[in-house]
Structure 1
């Protein structure tokens, strides 16, 4: 099990909370786990604990710290879902990327190398793509990232490998957005897209009604193999 720890911002003038899970032995690589709009909840913490069980240092920054303390919401509770949407409307994504970059720097220092990847879900899937474009992250994975079709103008800045998991029946990423992602990224030498027919947003959530266990296991296996290759 991991613990919440305070991490300095890039500017060094403030601290923000991160859930950090460490492996039993020495970690040779690290994974930044990027939250959904529901915060660093039990599902995100479970994903960190899983990565730690595989030998990685895992860090999940609380990206909503500037607008709400200790966000921990349940997607299956309608009132909490609405709260999450409201927080998303207040969230500064550019500042979020800077907090992810601070987490990357912490991971690099702790493991003593640049073998740091990131994996994000929903909002985090979008931020994982942005992280690939804007930082020196060595491998990035996004699950059902929202609005990536509007970020394709940044794809020229992708220097390291990216994998995106796209559920074809995603209620938050319509078919035309998915088509634009394929048109813009299928020929990119660093990007690999996987489609999941008939599946909706959130299919790889650790807990709750959204999860499709078979598809989640397939996507997670692909992600584990991806990091094993590119963070070796």
Structure 2
């Protein structure tokens, strides 16, 4: 495990946490952060994708606001900080930084040129936009927020996309889900799974809404999806 520096398309640079698999060359996975920065949860996820055999990289997407954010979901102050960062975050620039990360990891020693993305919460939204705006080979969203506002881009999805939706997501109400779930289900490149009774971040280990059975199912589906499309 280490960090690398990625050059942004519009100048400047940002750090990214990297976890390498035991054997290379292999495909890469860009792991996209929640609103808490590149914290222990994200580093553990990045390590887990490396353990599955991928060159995994998790970029610091808040670098334009405040580099090095590493907070948790355990205190009210941290939640307030996270929502403040979320409010200041420029989604379009974030996607460009992810595309820069994708290009960077494809050029790293040990990458065979194939690369996908997987994101959680804010990262789930960004993974959807990687499916619509980038040439990533496969993309996965875990309980992405705001997809209803971006569903007009769905016809741009040209590579396999997997979307995990929490039925009782407090940040993605039923009326929002009704806007994007049917559109994605009608797209031949997209697969949608709705997890009955689950709330936002049901796959965040140690989180308030963590549900092991649903998390294990979503993770298993993600593993199979990447094995199919990044092999």
TM range (shorter): over 0.9
Please say which of residues 179-188 and 91-100 is displaced more in the overlay: 179-188
Given that 2:55 and 2:111 are in contact with CA atoms closer than 8 Å, whether structure 1 keeps it comes out as no
Given that 2:32 and 2:59 are in contact with CA atoms closer than 8 Å, whether structure 1 keeps it comes out as yes
SS in 2 for 1:29: strand
**Structure 2 spans left out of the alignment, 5+ residues:** none
User: Paired residue for 1:94?
Assistant: 92
Deviations 1:63-117 (A, max 9, x none): 0011012111111211101100000111111111111001100121124544101
- Label 1:211 to 1:27 Cα distance change in 2 as closer, same or farther (>3 A): farther
**Cα distance in 1 for residues equivalent to 2:38 and 2:183:** 31
**Cα distance in 1 for residues equivalent to 2:211 and 2:111:** 37
User: Paired residue for 2:162?
Assistant: 163
Deviation at 1:210, TM superposition (A): 2.9
SS in 1 for 2:107: helix
Deviation at 1:156, TM superposition (A): 1.4
SS in 1 for 2:58: strand
1:82 to 80, 83, 97: 80
**Cα distance in 1 for residues equivalent to 2:205 and 2:30:** 17
Q: How do residues 186-201 of structure 1 correspond to structure 2 at under 5 angstroms?
A: 186-201=185-200
User: Paired residue for 1:7?
Assistant: 6
Deviation at 1:183, TM superposition (A): 2.1
Quick check: 1:21 aligned with 2:25? no
User: Paired residue for 2:70?
Assistant: 72
Given that 1:8 and 1:14 are in contact with CA atoms closer than 8 Å, whether structure 2 keeps it comes out as yes
* RMSD of aligned residue pairs (Cα, Å): 1.1
Deviations 1:26-49 (A, max 9, x none): 141010000000110000000000
Q: How do residues 171-186 of structure 1 correspond to structure 2 at under 5 angstroms?
A: 171-186=170-185
Given that 1:122 and 1:145 are in contact with CA atoms closer than 8 Å, whether structure 2 keeps it comes out as yes
User: Paired residue for 2:32?
Assistant: 34
SS in 1 for 2:26: coil
User: Paired residue for 1:138?
Assistant: 137
**Cα distance in 2 for residues equivalent to 1:176 and 1:63:** 29
